[in-house]
Amino acid sequence: MLYLYGANIPAHKKLRYALTSIYGIGYKTASRICDELGFGEEVYVQDLTEVHISKICQFIEQNYLIEGDLRKETHLNVSRFINISCYRGLRHSLALPIRGQRTHSNASTQKRLGNRFKK
């Protein structure tokens, strides 16, 4: 088990799939990282050396926003929307769907959660 950026990366998985356990890295990003660094399709996490792990960490830090920094930026963006009272901010503050989904027949779970947060 490898521990990177606050996430446990399973050793028995292929590298492309294992990197997705880091918040902010999906499959496409993980594939791009592996291609840039020259790792093949069949590389497992348990086969990596310390040099490979440091290369991966350095590449991710230089090119991507992940884990705590990404969560912080997302939270700041949402709070900015709420502070300027735009439509998206109002929907966030009421805990309703943001991107134009129906609420008459759908989003009942979201509306229940919204009522809980409003109190």
Q: Which positions of the chain have pLDDT values less than 70?
A: 110-111, 113-119
State pLDDT tens for residues 19-29. 999 999 999 99
Quote the CA–CA distance of 20 and 7 in Å, as a whole number: 10
pLDDT at site 93? 86
Beta strands in the chain (DSSP E): 2-4, 7-9
User: Which tokens sit at 29?
Assistant: 């990003």
pLDDT at site 5? 85
DSSP string, 12-46: TSBHHHHGGGSTT--HHHHHHHHHHHT--TT-BGG
Quote the CA–CA distance of 76 and 96 in Å, as a whole number: 19
CATH 1.10.8.50 boundaries in the chain: 2-64
pLDDT at site 118? 55
State pLDDT tens for residues 40-57. 889 999 999 999 999 999
Q: Which fold has domain 2-64?
A: Helicase, Ruva Protein; domain 3 (1.10.8)
CATH 4.10.910.10 boundaries in the chain: 68-118
Q: Which fold has domain 68-118?
A: 30s ribosomal protein s13; domain 2 (4.10.910)
